[in-house]
Structure 1
Amino acid sequence: MTYSWKTCPSEIRNFVTKLLDEIKVVIQENYIGCYIHGSLAMGGFNPSKSDIDLLVVTRDSITSARMKELVQLFLDYSGNPYPVEISFLNKDQLTHWQHPCPFDFHYSEYWREYYESESRFFSVQSGTDPDLAAHIMIINHRGCCLEGRPISDVFPVIPYSDYIDSIMGDFRECQDNMVEDPIYCSLNLIRVYLYLKDRKIFSKLEAGNWALESLPDDTKGILKKVISSYTQNDTFYFDQGELLSLKNFLVGKIEMLQK
């Protein structure tokens, strides 16, 4: 079973609401708003597998002392029970858009072991992230304002070239990691193909369901496994030959659209 923010159970809403309350205690009057993107915004959130994807916008840059408090907050909350992926951006970074977009602070479970070591904390507290172009594009088109100023007042229009650069970076990673991460990579390759083909933003689940209806019959078997694994927590054996065949088909379609 998958959910959107509007349809999710009270446990998920309570987790997000409590986390936001704690974030506001840390950043105080600097807070502008909190926005949901990713699967929880678009209806593909699986409580057993999905991250809760958030962007927090502040008036000014976050101080090092506040960042250290945020590190401890996310080490305590993320993964208990839902993993959190979150970036903090200030108003100036959004008003004067550049790609890759700078950010003040980022947390995901990928960085947990680094944040648990104080000696490494300061080297990863801020920087630029090419993925933010895609996150903000999704917020503009499919996102949810959890609290604060409206999306249209806060976020810039993302140039087409920046969004393409962002999703093509993910596309290249998925080509390399198809066998190691078949569910994420299969669905993301389909999403990239659909955007290049139709200029529409799909969730991973929407992309998978479209592919099941529209791609050739010899892809149906692998697509059914991917979608079932994504939505129902079923476990399947993914044949490497099937995965590579699906990847090659999608990569060929994507490369044709880029010519």
Structure 2
Amino acid sequence: MNARIPTEIQPLISDFKDLLQSKLPNAVLGFYLQGSIALRGFNKKRSDIDFLIVVNHELTAGELSIIRDIHEELKQKHEYYMVMEGQYTTLGHLDKTIKKPQELYPNYFYGEYMGLRNGWIDPTSLWITKYHGISVLGPDVNEINIQVDWDDLLLAMKYNLHSYWTDKVKDYTIFLQDDWVVDTVLTLGRILYTLQNKEMITKEQGGYYLLAVMTNEWHSLINEALRIREGSELEMGFESIEERALHTLRFVLHIIDLCNEKYQLRTT
């Protein structure tokens, strides 16, 4: 087992690999891990287990049924299975040679089957897989022609800022929840780092990067996000969750404006 795979999840990954090999020997070309595990930032209490399964042909009804059985078996046996997120796909999707993608490929979110998708992988996941991915089964990621470049990643960053996060600030009450504070602050730290350095980092690293580059005005919120993420027993750094939520909303707007100005991301 690859030493980069955390010990806690090695039994799950090993069983997943064995089931793919034994039950789908003629269908599965490769099994890869990306996300926080690949970036060496797995948090056993909060991280997802992000995977890609590359198949070598359009899956038959029988093979699709076997895949669901495999996941059900893993679900019954492994606690960590419930944080697995991933997509079945093909080499044609990774090297972008496929012409007419069809919704033929299983997708999983927090361990649950989400139906068939078209197999496309988002630029952030492609980037992490290409430069940091862990091969569990099949060719090493360096041997796969994964087509993703900086322009693809930049487009994803623009979407995150101008669509996803811009939409979230329409209702500040979502920031009353601990998980939203963590994901918002630390993810925006990752985006800011990526725009500056053209590389991906973990959420925790995004938080510490923010502490290094942001003014003291935002440090209480950044430390709050890191406190929650790391499971610290220190008390909340705000008088109320309402105060924290409003500060989070202002932080989102500030980061969007900062990125627009510094990296010329404004849409025309």
Fold equivalence (TM over 0.5)? yes
Determine the structure 1 residue equivalent to 2:226.
Answer: 227
Determine the structure 2 residue equivalent to 1:218.
Answer: 217
**Retained in 2: the 8 A contact 1:78–1:109?**
no
Pair 1:248 & 2:238 matched? no
Between the aligned partners of 1:254 and 1:231, the Cα distance in structure 2 is: 27
| Correspondences of 1:139-218 after superposition (within 5 Å) | 139-171=129-161, 172-177=163-168, 179=175, 181-218=180-217
TM-score by length of 2: 0.79
Pick closer, same or farther for the CA change 1:161–1:29 going to 2, 3 Å.
same
Pair 1:68 & 2:62 matched? no
Between the aligned partners of 1:100 and 1:230, the Cα distance in structure 2 is: 41
**Retained in 2: the 8 A contact 1:193–1:253?**
no
**2:85 partner SS:** strand
Determine the structure 2 residue equivalent to 1:118.
Answer: none
| Correspondences of 1:20-31 after superposition (within 5 Å) | 20-31=17-28
Between the aligned partners of 1:208 and 1:46, the Cα distance in structure 2 is: 14
**2:137 partner SS:** strand
Letter in 2 for 1:40: I
Provide Cα deviations, 1:94-116, integer angstroms capped at 9, x if missing partner.
33347998772211128x3xx4x
Structure 1 alignment gaps of length 5 or more:
116-120
Letter in 1 for 2:255: L
**Retained in 2: the 8 A contact 1:101–1:133?**
no
Deviates more, 1:227-236 or 1:26-35: 227-236
1:69 Cα deviation from its structure 2 partner: 2.2
Between the aligned partners of 2:47 and 2:70, the Cα distance in structure 1 is: 20
Pair 1:108 & 2:109 matched? yes
Provide the alpha-carbon RMSD of the alignment. Answer: 2.9
Pair 1:40 & 2:37 matched? yes
Letter in 2 for 1:52: I
TM-score by length of 1: 0.82
1:245 Cα deviation from its structure 2 partner: 2.0
Determine the structure 1 residue equivalent to 2:84.
Answer: 84
Q: Which has the larger radius of gyration?
A: 2
Deviates more, 1:58-67 or 1:168-177: 168-177
Between the aligned partners of 1:201 and 1:55, the Cα distance in structure 2 is: 18
Pick closer, same or farther for the CA change 1:47–1:100 going to 2, 3 Å.
farther
Structure 2 alignment gaps of length 5 or more:
170-174
Residues paired across the two proteins, number: 244
Provide Cα deviations, 1:120-158, integer angstroms capped at 9, x if missing partner.
x7xx312254x5222111111222222321212224230
> What is the percent sequence identity of the aligned residues?
15
Deviates more, 1:139-148 or 1:155-164: 155-164
